[in-house]
Amino acid sequence: MQIWQDTTESGRWPGSASPLGATYDGSGTNFAVFSEVAQKVELCLFDERDQEERVELKEVDAFVHHVYLPDIGPGQRYGFRVHGPFQPSQGQRCIPHKLLLDPYAKAIEGRIEWNEALFPYRFGAPHRRNDADSAPYTMKSVVTNPYFDWGNDHRPHIPYHDTVIYEAHVKGLTRTHPAIPEDIRGTYAALAHPVMLDYLTALGVTAVELMPVHQFLHDHTLAQRGLSNYWGYNTIGFFAPHNAYCSSGQRGEQVQEFRYLVKSLHEAGIEVILDVVYNHTAEGNHLGPTLAFRGLDNAAYYRLSDADPRYYWDTTGTGNSLRMNHPHTLQLIMDSLRYWVTDMHVDGFRFDLAATLARQFHGVDRLSSFFDLVQQDPVISQVKLIAEPWDVGDGGYQVGNFPPLWTEWNGKYRDCVRDFWRGEGGTLGEFASRLTGSSDLYQSDGRRPHASVNFVTAHDGFTLRDLVSYNDKHNEANGEGNRDGEHHNRSWNCGAEGPAGDRNVLALRARQQRNFLATLLLSQGVPMLSHGDELGRTQGGNNNAYCQDNDVSWVDWPAVAEGSEILEFTRELIALRRNHPVFRRRRFFQGVAVRGSRDGLSDIGWFTPAGREMTDDDWDAGFAKSLTVFLNGQAISEPDPRGRRIQDDSFLLLFNAHYEPLGFTVPKDLGGWWSVVVDTAIPYVEYRSLVKAGATVEVEARALLVLRQSGQD
């Protein structure tokens, strides 16, 4: 960065238009902000008594207003005031009375105190401009220290096919853990605590996918109901770690604490993936507050209605959508992504409502500018990129349609696996595709099985325990009359709604949870667990706990025994997947014998419970709910990193989603002896007696049996 040293005004230098934001260089700070419509921009500096000093940014290059202030350093609070057109009918909403956050702020202090002064209109009079000063009620940007001792930190660079993702909420995962000091629970420091690192490594996950940690707001409507935006999908600062997750009261310390979290997870061999929300901001619709982007350059940052620019074009369900075909909005997103990779060392991103990012104009376009930029970027293109491949706009469901560089949350996997295990008919063919990596979705454009991020549950919806305990959602605590949340959950309560005392119901629920976990962790693709599912976490039937920052959403650690059966079962399944590459292939099955394999058998086989190969009629039988899958460990076609051909044990997966036990015949043509290594009818993983090819083994109703080949005749 080159700093001009023209000192025509005492203590103020013109500075530089790049980089955007507040950049401290050890001697002073350069401030730069974009606004194409601004007639004047003022930098507002706040002292410890909240007294405000204004500095006009007189230098403007390519619509970037900038200044350099010597002796201004980390901890300095600031904001902007923009003088310009306030013409909502033309799409512009500049009001200098509103203090604006820096879109590039690396840290943000405080929280919103909801007051009429934050809004551009008077309450009850939406056409009357509100010139009240918002500074006493809004958050403030903070100059940060760019320096951090990373030591010899390095990214784990775990290949996709070896990845097991653990979706987690910083606060919800750690808030009640009794072994974490109470004063840091619910923070970045808590997640970096040795007890959490030991837990995650013992579980066997390789990546933590953090729900939003960009600075977010608690919506005005939620605050009025005494609730909060617990999930955090309401971003206002795309560079700033959320300040409420910081254990320290020091200004700007959230940046260093987050860096320490990343460094600690890396030392444990765990990657950090951020759930990011670049599709909208917390400013909401035309009736929302003026906090940052709206007051800087409304028409540049947001998609406005063609028919009437006073309104926003919304494909997110939140009131606004970012304008993905504007160069400065695209620059903001790309700069943010690059910052989190280079300066914060994260390993990848999961993009919320990613279909909105593909809307360059109105339709979803996989060749939009955003994807072009990501594809060619030498930094962002090298990390994990995961799309939530849908939004709420027309044509927004885009599972399977993202570019080859991307992986996707596979919503079709979730839906099909739920349907299969609750006994829905006509699911067998699709279930086979989902189990083997969804080649119907990802193979045609050259992607691999890891393009499918498989999940049964996530933050949005029932927990795993609730999925098998409730037929209906129970969201009354959200204050919306139980109207919010998904209505069609593909759940089954196993015979009783909610808490139950019947032993048979409880046993079936436990078995169903094991069925889902085993299916997920033995499917091709990348498995994703939702935090607490391995502990039997419940939300009491709430399938939309976005506003429940309380024990409804927090993991209830005091109620968890470290040796609980479902936790041990999950750990053993992850270990089984890790130890056997046949469950995490890098290429799709071909359905043919692989040259060089000793047995001459196909790489995969499909059999009826009677032990004969599946026919078209078997696949088309709508009543069929059971099948045997042969995974040939001698026919893995891809080489290892050193070029050697991978070989593994062979396995049989015996699926019985029928409501009665079934006898399964081990196919004779496969030969040898087989040992039971997983039986979801029992709450633990163990090796049991041998079964000879041609023999029949009983599989409990609604259960999965996994057999490993132990030898040849």
Q: DSSP for 73-127, please give it.
A: -TT-EEEEEEE--EEGGGTEE--TTS-B--TT-SEEES-----GGGSSEETTEEE
Angle at 634 between CA 631 and CA 635, to 5 degrees: 75
Element (H, E) at 337: helix 327-342
Residue 357 pLDDT exceeds 60: yes
Among candidate residues 271, 352, 572, 599, the one labeled active-site is: 352
> Is 56 annotated as catalytic?
no
pLDDT tens digits, one per residue of 321-335: 999 889 999 999 999
| Cα torsion angle, 328, 334, 335, 340, sign | positive
| 194-203 helix and 253-267 helix, angle to the nearest 10 degrees | 40
pLDDT tens digits, one per residue of 251-296: 999 999 999 999 999 999 999 999 999 999 999 999 999 999 999 9
Q: Which of 268, 203, 205, 270 is nearest to 572 (CA)?
A: 203
What domains lie within the chain, and their CATH numbers?
A: 167-280+319-361+407-581 (3.20.20.80), 589-710 (2.60.40.1180)
Asked if 229 contacts 215 with a C-beta cutoff of 8 angstroms, the reply is no
Among candidate residues 167, 283, 297, 388, the one labeled active-site is: 388
Output the pLDDT for position 670: 92
Residue 713 pLDDT exceeds 50: no
Residue 4 pLDDT exceeds 60: no
- Residue 613 DSSP symbol: B
Contacts of 400 (CB under 8 A, 6+ apart): 389, 408, 412, 438, 440, 441, 442
pLDDT tens digits, one per residue of 124-178: 887 889 999 999 999 999 999 999 999 999 999 999 999 999 999 999 999 999 9
Output the pLDDT for position 3: 47
Name the least confident of 112-121, 249-258, 363-372.
Answer: 363-372
Asked if 408 contacts 386 with a C-beta cutoff of 8 angstroms, the reply is yes
Element (H, E) at 411: helix 411-421
Residue 7 pLDDT exceeds 50: no
Percent of the chain with pLDDT over 70: 95
Output the pLDDT for position 201: 98
pLDDT tens digits, one per residue of 517-572: 999 999 999 999 999 999 999 999 999 999 999 999 999 998 876 558 999 999 99
Name the least confident of 409-413, 597-601, 645-649.
Answer: 597-601
> Is 388 annotated as catalytic?
yes
Global model pTM greater than 0.85 = yes
Q: What is the mean pLDDT of the chain?
A: 93
Question: The sheet that has 651-656: what strands, in order across it?
Answer: 604-607, 626-631, 651-656, 703-711, 673-679, 690-692
Give the helix ranges, DSSP H, for 538-651. Answer: 565-579, 616-620
The pLDDT confidence band at residue 645, using thresholds 50, 70 and 90, is: confident
Name the least confident of 37-46, 113-122, 156-165, 391-400.
Answer: 391-400
Q: Are strands 214-216 and 107-109 parallel, antiparallel or unpaired?
A: unpaired
Q: Which of 258, 276, 260, 277 is nearest to 268 (CA)?
A: 260
pLDDT tens digits, one per residue of 235-249: 999 999 999 999 998
Output the pLDDT for position 505: 97
The pLDDT confidence band at residue 711, using thresholds 50, 70 and 90, is: low
pLDDT tens digits, one per residue of 481-512: 999 999 999 999 999 999 999 999 999 999 99
Residue 8 pLDDT exceeds 70: no
Give the helix ranges, DSSP H, for 205-268. Answer: 220-224, 253-267
